[in-house]
């Protein structure tokens, strides 16, 4: 069986009993970096006896070939647990190719629930969370970043980005250029860790707060942006939506 196993994004107490059990019972732990994984297991008190669980490097560079070899191990009956450096594997982290390969081979796949930095920030943001879009990392260059933010404006839903602290101020100023200075944003930094903090308010104000910080911002952060105006829907699209709605209604009441 393949177990997709989230690990804490900072606070080790967030590890669940099921995650701990999966790590303890693994034959193989597929991980981005074997040294990081070794340190994490040590801190979580997961003992490795005679090399078991075996740590197996699985990252974006090795994804294809390693996925095939790991599926062979799964088919031989081994318990493989997929982790990433932090948070949930497959979310802005490697993993989906392995899950896909396991499914294609008919191997059982189980995913344990656990922390994702994006949803932690969203739930603390106070921004509309009934519908949202997760983008992950923005492009590093300003023109490409603005183009991407502009493209996502038309969705009309809250958008969540991962961003590096080095680029936060530039990203906020690009957002301000695209969305206007009043758009509400929430930046969550070092979530679940000792120096966790949030910046919240109109983007221009948050940009000023970030710029005024005496010490440089470090660590990890998530940027949540309130919805823009949804793109206009053409009359044909609206008509098609109404038709689909009516057909679904008929289907449900039949």
* Residue 158 sits in the site that holds ligand SAM (CB under 6 A): no
Q: Which stretch binds ligand SAM (CB under 6 A): 90-98, 141-149, 177-185, 203-211?
A: 90-98
**Residue 165 Cβ vs ligand SAM, minimum distance, rounded to whole Å:** 9
* Residue 192 sits in the site that holds ligand SAM (CB under 6 A): yes
**Options 5, 99, 116, 127; binder of ligand SAM; rule CB under 6 A:** 116
* Pairing label, strands 184-189, 197-202: antiparallel
Alpha helices in 108-202, H assignment, sequence order:
117-125, 142-153, 168-179
Which are the contacts of 144, defined by CB distance < 8 A and separation ≥ 6? none
* Residue 101 sits in the site that holds ligand SAM (CB under 6 A): no
CA distances from 88 to 4, 59, 199, 222, 253 (A): 8, 14, 24, 15, 40
Placement of tokens 């059982």 in the chain: 108
**Residue 232 Cβ vs ligand SAM, minimum distance, rounded to whole Å:** 32
* Residue 91 sits in the site that holds ligand SAM (CB under 6 A): yes
For residue 83, give the DSSP letter. -
* Residue 220 sits in the site that holds ligand SAM (CB under 6 A): yes
**Residue 125 Cβ vs ligand SAM, minimum distance, rounded to whole Å:** 12
* Pairing label, strands 28-31, 132-137: unpaired
Q: Which stretch binds ligand SAM (CB under 6 A): 40-48, 88-96, 150-158, 234-242?
A: 88-96
* Residue 84 sits in the site that holds ligand SAM (CB under 6 A): yes
Q: How far is Cα 196 from Cα 219, in angstroms, rounded to an integer?
A: 10
Residues at the site binding ligand SAM, with contacts judged by CB under 6 A: 9-10, 84, 86-88, 91-93, 116-118, 162, 188, 190-193, 220-222
């Amino acid at each position: 069986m393949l177990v997709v196993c989230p690990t804490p994004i900072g606070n080790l107490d967030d590890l669940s009993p099921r995650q701990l059990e999966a790590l303890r019972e693994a034959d193989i732990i597929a991980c981005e970096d074997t040294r990081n994984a070794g340190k994490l297991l040590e801190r979580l008190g997961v003992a490795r006896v005679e090399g078991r669980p075996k740590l197996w490097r699985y990252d974006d560079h090795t994804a294809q070939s390693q996925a095939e070899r790991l599926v062979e191990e799964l088919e031989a009956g081994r318990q493989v647990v997929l982790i990433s450096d932090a948070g949930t594997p497959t979310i802005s982290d490697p993993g989906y190719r392995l899950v896909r390969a396991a499914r294609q081979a008919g191997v059982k796949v189980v995913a344990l629930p656990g922390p994702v930095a994006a949803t932690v920030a969203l739930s603390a943001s106070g921004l509309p969370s009934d519908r949202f879009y997760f983008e992950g990392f923005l492009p590093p260059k300003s023109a490409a970043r603005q183009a991407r933010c502009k493209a996502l404006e038309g969705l009309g839903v809250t958008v969540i980005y991962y961003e590096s602290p080095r680029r936060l101020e530039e990203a906020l100023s690009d957002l301000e250029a695209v969305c206007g200075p009043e758009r509400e944003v929430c930046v969550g930094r070092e979530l679940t860790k000792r120096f966790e903090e949030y910046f919240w308010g109109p983007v221009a104000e948050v940009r000023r707060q970030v710029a005024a910080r005496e010490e440089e911002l470090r660590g990890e952060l998530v940027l949540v942006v309130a919805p823009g105006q949804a793109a206009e829907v053409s009359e044909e699209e609206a008509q098609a939506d109404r038709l689909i709605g009516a057909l679904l209604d008929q289907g449900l009441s039949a």
